[in-house]
Structure 1
Amino acid sequence: MKTIDKNVVMLGWVSYFTDMATAMIQPILPLFIVLILHEGMDKLGFIVAVATFVSYAMRLLSGYLSDRYGIVKPFVVAGYGLSALTKPLIGFTANYQQITVLQSLERLGKGLRSAPKDLMIAAYSKKNASGKTFGFHKTLDIAGELSGTLILFGVLAIFGQSEAVMRNIFYATLIPGLIGLAIMLFLVRDIPKTSPYESMEFSFNARDKETIKALFVYFFFVFFIFSAAFFTVQAKEVGIATALIPLLFVVSTGIQTLTSYTIGKWIDRIGVKRIMLFAYLSGVIAQLLLYLQNPISTWFAFAFLGLFTVASLNANRAYIADRAENRGSVYGIFYAGVALFGAIGAYIGGVIWEYFGMHAALGYSLLGTSVMLVFFGMIFWNGKKRI
C-alpha cells in the first residue's frame, strides 16, 4: 500500500465518511417508506427508479466535461456537498413524493462526482496498478459503509426502532457528510489540465468504443439483480427483525472491506475477465439464496451480494482505467448505464412484486441474472470478446 498516492488515500477517506452517512440510512429507508409512511412496494420501486435515473444524465455530463475542459475537482466537491446536505432532509419527509425528490437530488450529487472522482483515481494510479489502486479506494469506501451500519445497529439496539429514532438518524448523517466534504475541499489536489490555455480535445476512438461495448453485459446483469432496497424488504418479509437488518449490511460491507484490496490485486494479476465471471456467479448465488426465502439463506445472500458488488465495480473501474483514452467520458457512460439499467430494472421488479408477489419477483430476477451469467460464460470460454 506504500505505492498508493496520498491523493487517492484522501479520496478514500472522503468516500469513507460519505458512505458512512449513506449506510446509516440505507438499511432503514425502505422500511421507513413501507412501514412508517405506509407506501407500497411499487412506490418503493418508483423511488429507486427515479432517483437512479436522475443521476444518469449528470454522470454522462460530468464525465464529458471533465475530458473536454479538464473540470474535475469542482464537480467532485459539488457532488459530495449535494449528497451531504440532502440526506438529513429525509427526516422531515411525510410522503413518497418528498423522498423521491430528495433521493433524486442525493443521487444527482453522486452522479456529478462519480466519473470525475474515478478519473482522479486513475490519474494518480501507478503504471500497471490500477486494480490495486481502485481496490484500495474501495476498501476505505466500504469500510465507511461498515462503520455507518454498525452505528445504525447500535442506535436501533439502544433507542429502539420508532419513527422518531429513524428521523433522528437521518438528521445525524449531516456530521459525517460535512467531514467528508471538508477533506475533499482542503486535502485533495486537483489533477492538472494538459494545457492551461486550451480546452482538452475530445472524441471517442476505437479503444473507447470497444471498452463501452464490453460494459453492456454488466448493464443487463444490473437490470435483473435485486437492488439493496429490495434485499432489505425481502429480509423483513422472511421474518428477520428490523433491529437485525443493519447486521445484514454489516455482512455485505464486511465482506467487501476484507476482499476489496485483494480482489484489486488479483485483477492486475489474472485479468478482468476471470474476476467478472466470479462476480456474476456471486450475483446469481445471491439471487438463488433469496429465492429460497428463509432467514438463514438471506444472511448468506447478503454476503454474496457483497462479493458481486466489490468484484464487479473494481474490475470495471480498473478495466476502464487501463483501456479507455477518454476515461472521464467512459466512466460517465459506465455509471450512467448502471443507473439507467438499474432504474428500469428496479421499477419493473417493484411492479412485479406489488402485483404478482415476492416469489414472482425473485424468480424473474434469478432467471435474468442466470441468463446473463451463461451469456458471459459463453463469451469468456469462446474468446469472442476482449473484456
Structure 2
Amino acid sequence: MNKNIYYLGFVSFFTDLASAMITPVLPLYIVYVLNEGIDKLGIVVAVATFVSYFFRILFGYLSDKYQIIKPFILFGYLLSAITKPLFAFSSSYGNIAFLQSTERMGKAIRSAPKDTLISYYAKKDESGKTFGLHKTMDIAGELFGALIILAVFYIYGDSVEVFKNIFLFTLIPGLIGVLIVLFFVEDAKYTHKNLKYRFEKEDSKLFPLLLSYFFFMFFVFGDSFFIITAKEAGYSTTFIPVFVIVLTLTQTLCSYYFGVMSDAKSSVYVLKLAYIFGIFSITALLYDFLWLGFMFLGIFTVASLNATRSYISKNAINQASVYGVFYGGIALFSSLGALSIGAIWHYFGQQSAMLFSLSGMILVLMIFLFLAKAK
C-alpha cells in the first residue's frame, strides 16, 4: 500500500487515542459528576453528532470544487486537538455541548477530504482492504486510549480532578497527529480535472443503500448509552473502560476482515451482516449480556462503516460530494435518534428506550432485505 495510507493511519491512531480517553469519561462526567439527566446526555450526543456529520457535506463539496485536500485535513485535526483539553473547564452540559460540537467540527472538516485521499492512494479493487486497514489503525488508537483510562482510574481513582487531568492530557497525542499530517502526509490531486459539481446519474443509484443506513443509524443505541447502561447495571467507574476496551478490541480484530470481505463478496452483503449484529447488540443489553452487547456493537460499527465507505469508493463519480452526503445523512438521522432515545429513557425508562431501538432496527432490516431481494 502507498506510504500515505500508513501515515494517515498513524495520524488517526494518535487522534483516536486522545478521543478514546474522552469516550468512556464524558458520558459519566455529564450524568454523574455534573448531575445532568440522561436526556441532557442525549442532547450533547445529538448536537455533537449533527455538527460532526452535517458539515461534512459542505467540506466535501469544497474539497471537490476547489481541490483542497491536505489543508482541510490538517486544520481539522488541529481544531480537534486544541479543543479536547478545554473539557476540563466545563461546568454544565451546555458548555460540553459547545466544546464537543467544536471538536466534532474538526472531524467534519477533515473527514470527506481524508476519505478522498485514501481512495486516491488505494490500489484498484483494494478499496475495502485499504479502508479496513485504516479503520484498524483508528481502532488500535482507541484501544490504547481506553487502556490508559483504565490504568488512570485504577491508580488514581475517579475524582473530579482525575477527570479534568484526563481531558488536559489529550493535547499531547492530538498534537502528535497534527505534526504527522504537517510533515509527512502528501497532498494529492484528483484524476478527474473537469468535475461537474452536481450528482451524476450514477451517483444517485447509491442513495437507496445509503438511505437504509441512515434509518438504521436513527435507531442505533450509541456507545454513550451503552456506557451509562453498564454504570446503571452496577459496574464501577473504574471498570467501565474495560467495556470500552472490549468494544475497541472487537473492532480492531474485525475491521480488516470485513474490509477484505467487502472486496471478495460485496458491500451489500457485509452491510446485511452489520445490520444483524446491530440488532444482536441491543438484544444482548436487554438480557443483561453487556459483554456481548459491546462486542456486537463493535462488529456492527466497523462492518457497516467499511461496507458503506467501500461502496462509495467503488461506485461514486464525485466521491467527496457523495461522502459528504453520506455523512450529512448520518448527521440528521443519528442526532434525531440520540435525542429520541435520550428522551424516551428519561421519561419512560431504560427498557422502553431499548425496545424502541430494537424494534426500529428490525423493521429497517426487513425492508432492506425485501428491497434487496426485489432488486
Pairwise TM-score range, normalised by the shorter structure: over 0.9
1:336 Cα deviation (Å)? 1.3
SS state of the match for residue 23, structure 1? helix
- Give the letter aligned to residue 283 of structure 2: L
Residue 365 (structure 2) aligns with: 373
Equivalents in 1 of 2:158, 2:369: separation in Å? 44
- Contact between 1:284 and 1:366, CA under 8 Å: does it hold in 2? yes
Residue 5 (structure 2) aligns with: 8
- The percent of aligned pairs where both chains have the same amino acid is 51
- Give the letter aligned to residue 275 of structure 1: V
Residue 255 (structure 1) aligns with: 250
- Contact between 2:44 and 2:96, CA under 8 Å: does it hold in 1? yes
- Contact between 1:132 and 1:268, CA under 8 Å: does it hold in 2? yes
Matched, 1:213 2:208: yes
Matched, 1:223 2:215: no
Residue 261 (structure 2) aligns with: 266
Residue 157 (structure 1) aligns with: 154
Q: TM-score, normalised by structure 2?
A: 0.98
Q: TM-score, normalised by structure 1?
A: 0.95
- Give the letter aligned to residue 161 of structure 1: D
- Contact between 2:132 and 2:258, CA under 8 Å: does it hold in 1? yes
- Contact between 1:291 and 1:366, CA under 8 Å: does it hold in 2? no
Equivalents in 1 of 2:64, 2:47: separation in Å? 27
- Contact between 1:286 and 1:302, CA under 8 Å: does it hold in 2? yes
Trace 1:306-345 onto structure 2 (pairs within 5 A).
306-345=298-337
Q: Structure 1 residues 280, 193: CA separation in 2 closer, same or farther (over 3 Å shift)?
A: closer
- Contact between 1:69 and 1:199, CA under 8 Å: does it hold in 2? no
Residue 168 (structure 2) aligns with: 171
Say how many residue pairs are matched.
375
Q: CA RMSD in A?
A: 1.2
- Residue 124 of structure 2, aligned match among 118, 127, 137: 127
- Contact between 2:262 and 2:307, CA under 8 Å: does it hold in 1? yes
Runs of 4+ aligned residues of structure 1 deviating over 4 Å after TM superposition are none
- Contact between 2:255 and 2:303, CA under 8 Å: does it hold in 1? yes
Tell me, which stretches of 5 or more residues in structure 1 are unaligned? none
Equivalents in 2 of 1:216, 1:378: separation in Å? 14
Deviation digits for residues 36-55 of structure 1 (CA, Å, limit 9, x no counterpart): 00100111111111111123
Equivalents in 2 of 1:192, 1:270: separation in Å? 30
- Residue 280 of structure 1, aligned match among 275, 280, 297: 275
Deviation digits for residues 142-201 of structure 1 (CA, Å, limit 9, x no counterpart): 000001000110111110011110110000000000001110111100112558xx8753
Equivalents in 2 of 1:179, 1:373: separation in Å? 41
Equivalents in 1 of 2:214, 2:190: separation in Å? 31
SS state of the match for residue 215, structure 1? helix
SS state of the match for residue 243, structure 1? coil
Equivalents in 2 of 1:186, 1:176: separation in Å? 16
SS state of the match for residue 87, structure 1? helix
